[in-house]
Structure formats: C-alpha cells, structure tokens
C-alpha cells in the first residue's frame, strides 16, 4: 500500500488504516480503533487515492459531489486524518514525530531488547532499592528543578518506546510515535495494533513494557545515586536523579492501577483472558445478570461457580472506577486550595 504524506497539503488516509480485499468485499481496517468497515470497491479506490497531495474533492475518475459524499462517509468513521502533523484525535491534540516506513519489523534487535527488558527490570530495581536504603552515600540536592522538568520527558518518552519495542518484537504493528496534550497535561503516545497476536502473554507484555522501562530507569538512577561520594559527578547529579526517580515512581504507581485506560488495566485485561481488550462491556454484561432473577439463574447455570469469580472481577473493577476519580479530584482540590492559601498569604 502506498505511503501517505501526512505533512501534505490535504487530508489523507489515516496512516493506521489499511485497505484489503476479503473475498469479493473490500475492508478498511482501523488498526488503532481495532475496527473493520466493509466498503465498496469505489470507496476503497477513493480512500487509497487520498495520499495527502491530492485534493479530496478532485480525485480522478470521480465527480465532486460523489467525492464529498465518500469523504463525509470515511471521515465520520475516522479513516481520514487532517493535513499536517498536528491533529486533534478524540479529546487530545497530537503531534506526530515519527512514522516508520513499515509498521512491522522482523529484526531480532527488538527481540533482544525486549528480552533484556523483561529479565533485567526487576533485579535492577531491587538492587537500586537495596543500595539506596542500605549503602552509604552522600547527596547534593541542588539540581532538583531541572530534574523535575526533564523527569517528565524521561518518564513518558522511554515508556512509549518500551511499548513500541515490545510490540515490534512480537510482530505487532507500530504506526506512529509522537507527543500529545490532553487539556493541560502533556504526554507521549505510540499507536500499536496488536489484534493479530493470539498470545495473551505477548499482549500483556506489550502493555506492561512501558512500566517495565520506567522501573528499569528508576533502578538505574537509584544505583547511580548510591555511587555518590563527596565531589564526584554522581554526588553533583544526585538532586537531579532523586527528582527523576520520584517522577518515575509516581508514573509507575499511577499507571499500574486497575483503572480504565491505564496500562495496569490493559495488562490485567489481557492476563484475565479478555481477548478484545474491552473489559468494561464484559463487566457490565456480567453485573447486569445480577439484577434480574431469570438472568441470574441462567447466568449461574451456565458459568457455575466461575460466575462468582467473574462477578468479583466486575465488582473490583467498578469500585476502582468510582473511588479513584473521587480520590484524585479531592487531591486536586486540596492542592489547589493549598496554592490559593499560599498566594493569599504571599499577597497579604
């Protein structure tokens, strides 16, 4: 399939969309949304001709009205992306930094990197923790502020690279890599399509790889802090490293929660065996069965004692979805209140 020019003048076929023929039908597959649409041969040809350099209403072989109709149809299904590397996707503004020539790789480099990551992250972290708690070292806290700023980048970018390395090592597709902004919150993203993988462990590792990279980096930083002796470079950098470790740990702990959309939830979803990656609808369907006597009877008849286990998973998931936002909202109010109080005291 021809590569699209996302920085072109006109909107183009989204680079995470592939068009292929299945029997006598044409399918447009949205790799990121994990959805497939059956389209006519005409629409498929039109979609493929949107390469970023062609005006969407002036495609050869189609009238303008026909183009507009097809464009609206495809755009509504999010198969077309706007021109330029900065686009709005859902609620976030994304900035594409890198699009690989091929979305997959057969290189063994990624396999080796993934194997190193999987085997080393926990021992390195434990060693770092041991050294920082039990060894003697001296630290200087001068460079905390740059550490906080750079720590944000060090938390996000290697995290997404970890996902990409794991995905490429197992043969999943990686479409693009970039930075995003959700409201005021900065972030990074990597677009992965893991639908063709069958092993749930592979999928779990892809989702977990980001956190593993963060744990590995935190371990390495802690080892470097523990090397600090009066006057040497690790002593001078220890403030910076402490700030980075702090941010990495915050990132790890917030990302690992069993909460919708976070890596922890994706990983647990894979490990529990939900193949489509959408635990929410499964949980809702399971819990739904509780509220009608007929459905409840049928449900336990079908699932037996295992139905109880599915219910427990559902209840834990729902509890997490309700309590965690309240906690973080309360924390935000607390922080904001503290800030207002501090400003008030400063002014008066």
Partner 1 sequence: MEIFDMKVLRNVLVPVASVTGSTFLLYDSVFSSRTEGFTPFEMIMGIGLLFVFLSFTDFVKKHESVWAFCFTIVATSAVNFRVSYAFADLLIDNVLAKIGVIYVSCIMLLSIEEILVLAVIRLIWLKQNDKGFQKMHLRDVRRRERMLERLYEKIEYIDRKYDGYSYRVNHNRGPDVEELEKYFENWRNTKCS
Based on the number of CB atoms within 10 Å of its own CB, is 177 exposed (0-12), middle (13-18) or buried (19 or more)? buried
According to DSSP, the residues that pair with 35 across neighbouring strands are 30
User: How far does the chain reach from its first CA to its final CA, in angstroms?
Assistant: 66
- The least distance separating partner 1 from the CB of residue 163, rounded to whole angstroms, comes to 16
Specify the residue, 187 or 277, whose C-beta has the smaller distance to partner 1. 277
Specify the residue, 124 or 256, whose C-beta has the smaller distance to partner 1. 256
According to DSSP, the residues that pair with 93 across neighbouring strands are 88, 181
- The least distance separating partner 1 from the CB of residue 75, rounded to whole angstroms, comes to 5
Under DSSP, the state recorded for 333 is H
According to DSSP, the residues that pair with 19 across neighbouring strands are 28
- The least distance separating partner 1 from the CB of residue 229, rounded to whole angstroms, comes to 29
- The least distance separating partner 1 from the CB of residue 283, rounded to whole angstroms, comes to 9
- The least distance separating partner 1 from the CB of residue 140, rounded to whole angstroms, comes to 25
Place of tokens 């600090």: 228
- Write out the two tokens for 297: 């009877």
**Residue 274, helix vs strand vs coil:** coil
Name the residues that contact partner 1, by CB under 8 A.
10-11, 56-57, 64-65, 68-69, 71-73, 75-76, 80, 82-83, 200-201, 204, 208, 253, 256-258, 264, 267-268, 271-276, 278-279, 281-282, 284-286, 303-307, 309-310, 312-313, 316, 320, 323-324, 326-327, 330-331, 334
Specify the residue, 229 or 302, whose C-beta has the smaller distance to partner 1. 302
Specify the residue, 142 or 331, whose C-beta has the smaller distance to partner 1. 331
- Write out the two tokens for 341: 């109080």
Specify the residue, 200 or 236, whose C-beta has the smaller distance to partner 1. 200
Please tell me the distance from the alpha carbon of residue 75 to that of residue 10, in angstroms, as a whole number.
Answer: 13
């Amino acid at each position: 399939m021809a590569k699209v020019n996302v920085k072109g003048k006109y909107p183009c076929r989204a680079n995470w969309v592939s068009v292929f023929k299945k029997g006598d039908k044409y399918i447009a597959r949205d790799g990121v949304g994990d959805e497939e649409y059956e389209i006519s041969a005409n629409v498929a040809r039109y979609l493929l001709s949107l390469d970023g350099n062609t005006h969407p209403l002036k495609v050869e072989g189609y009238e303008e009205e026909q183009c507009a109709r097809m464009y609206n149809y495809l755009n509504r299904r999010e198969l077309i992306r706007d021109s330029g590397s900065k686009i709005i996707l859902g609620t976030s503004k994304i900035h594409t930094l890198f699009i690989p020539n091929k979305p997959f790789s057969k290189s063994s480099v990624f396999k080796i990197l993934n194997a190193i990551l999987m085997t080393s992250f926990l021992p390195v972290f434990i060693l770092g923790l041991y050294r920082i708690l039990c060894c003697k070292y001296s630290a200087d806290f001068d460079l905390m502020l740059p550490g906080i700023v750079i720590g944000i980048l060090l938390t996000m970018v290697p995290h997404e690279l970890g996902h990409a390395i794991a995905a490429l090592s197992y043969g999943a597709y990686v479409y693009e890599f970039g930075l995003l902004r959700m409201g005021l919150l900065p972030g990074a993203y990597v677009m992965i399509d893991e639908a063709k993988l069958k092993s749930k462990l592979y999928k779990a590792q892809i989702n977990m790889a980001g956190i593993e990279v963060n744990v590995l980096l935190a371990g390495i930083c802690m080892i470097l802090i523990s090397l600090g002796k009066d006057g040497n470079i690790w002593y001078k950098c220890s403030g910076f490293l402490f700030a980075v470790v702090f941010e990495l740990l915050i990132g790890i702990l917030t990302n690992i929660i069993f909460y919708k959309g976070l890596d922890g939830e994706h990983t647990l979803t894979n490990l529990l065996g939900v193949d489509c990656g959408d635990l929410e609808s499964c949980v809702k369907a399971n819990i739904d069965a509780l509220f009608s006597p007929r459905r409840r009877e049928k449900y336990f008849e079908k699932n037996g004692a295992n139905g109880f286990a599915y219910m427990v998973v559902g209840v834990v998931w729902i509890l997490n979805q309700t309590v965690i936002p309240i906690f973080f909202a309360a924390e935000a109010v607390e922080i904001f209140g503290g800030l207002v109080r501090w400003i008030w005291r400063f002014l008066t």
